[in-house]
Amino acid sequence: MHLRPPRNWINDPNGLVFHDGHYHVFFQYNPYAPRHSNVHWGHYRSPDLINWEPLPVALAPTPGGYDADGCFSGNAVSDDGRMVAFYSAHRTDRWWQPVTTAESYDGGITWTKRPELLIPEPPADTTMYRDPYVWQQDDRWRMLVGSALADGRAAAQLYESDDLEHWEYRGPFHASDAAAGSGPVGWECPQYATFGDSGVLIISDWTPQGGPSHTTVHTGREQDGRFTATAAPVPLDHGPDFYAPALLRAPGEDRWLLWGWAWEARDDAWAHEAGWAGTLTLPREVTLAADGTVVQRPARELLALRGERVLHRTGHVTQSGATELGQVSRSFDLTAVLTPDSTGTSGLRLVTAADDTEYLDISLDPTTGQLTVDRSHASLDARARGGSYAVPCPAATPGTPVELRVIVDRSIAEVYLGDGQVLTLRFYPIAEGPWRLQARTTGTGRSDFTVEAWNLTPGGIRQEPLLAGQGQDA
């Protein structure tokens, strides 16, 4: 269900495009080892967001070329029977990553790189420059490129074109208001979606000290090539393991889809032993609520992955003991309506060890108005990261039902609130199981629940190697 190559490394989703009857998802990919190096563009396609076919690697570094050290992040468009991929040409002997392109006329099977860089130099007073995002708006092509400015602010730089070939620099589309030395110093992977006369700018925040940090969303309006935010930026995803999301406008309808990268939350040595690192999230639908809130929900097509309904329970629980709800497989889709007790926390526990020593907790706290996901006990292997993470849940008040949807696929959980907020988290159960669900409360009263769960079918993800030599360390 979650897209990833069968072995080795994956990070940012790239090049989301619908072309010739297929959704195409490209991604940063090292075909030789489960670590971030030798960056290529891996490639899957699907007619329906359910059945995915691996295609040959689309882009590979050219030895001695302008992308000799990696074909880094970007996106792709469909234009006049061809696909055009825009990407960051990485070399270790320059600090910026120029924008360049490659074209495919056979549905993404083969690609031809342009002989010269498309945008070889960054604008003046820029200290970071990478990750083009191209879209069509009002019969013009537009491009954002992530950057940092010499005055300490982060920015998304705007270009425009009539033909995808000749680009006019328009200046910063939007910039942070952080003073020099504070806040994020760079914006990566800028993405932009329009909803009527409103716009949503998604940014991945990067710092030189820690590298990739988190993802924020800015809502507002554009006028004359400048975006003005109408609200403070907020997290796009409240979990610890989500970064570099990418957008795609679905064909023939006013619907935006989004994939993100869920990185590992375990020691590098464990990932190396396992032979793989990273996965993409499930595709999400992104909408804009009337109050300006960005709403995310699993793509509607994913309902087709539901197999057997393995539990449907309605009842209540008290602190005298957990209520057993039933068993689930290691990939399941759950919906719940929880009415929390006013005197404590209430929620669900996914128990993955027969002796109850390994578990993931999802709980509501009416006193703080938060939903919390706690993975402190989610793996018996000490090499897995712990921690507790919260998402605002104003509806978590005594006597008020809260709607949840939780999709778990082995080592990843995507937790969606009814208001469209989401928290993505990786966890690594190692116990034999069986996996089962409980309802629990710490309050002195009672917590009511209605829970349904379906085991998920794997869909049609074919896992042939994307490139010869997979699994070999380089």
CB 71 within 8 A of CB 116: no
pTM over 0.85: yes
Residue 24 has pLDDT above 90, yes or no: yes
3-state secondary structure at position 270: helix
Dig out the tokens for 130 from the structure.
Answer: 């990478």
Per-residue pLDDT reduced to its tens digit, 400-457 = 999 999 999 999 999 999 999 999 999 999 999 999 999 999 999 999 999 999 999 9
- Give backbone dihedrals phi and psi of 303, rounded to 5 degrees, phi first: -60, -25
Q: Residue 305's closest CA among 286, 283, 280? A: 283
Q: Residue 84's closest CA among 116, 62, 111? A: 111
Which positions ≥6 away from 176 have C-beta within 8 Å?
A: 153, 154, 155, 183, 184, 187
Per-residue pLDDT reduced to its tens digit, 98-137 = 999 999 999 999 999 999 999 999 999 999 999 999 999 9
Question: What is the model's pLDDT at position 124?
Answer: 97
Strand order from edge to edge, sheet including 359-365 = 323-327, 436-441, 346-351, 359-365, 370-374, 388-392
What domains are there in the chain, each with its CATH number?
8-301 (2.115.10.20), 304-456 (2.60.120.560)
- What does each C-alpha distance from 117 to 57, 58, 101, 105, 157 come to in angstroms? 21, 18, 8, 20, 17
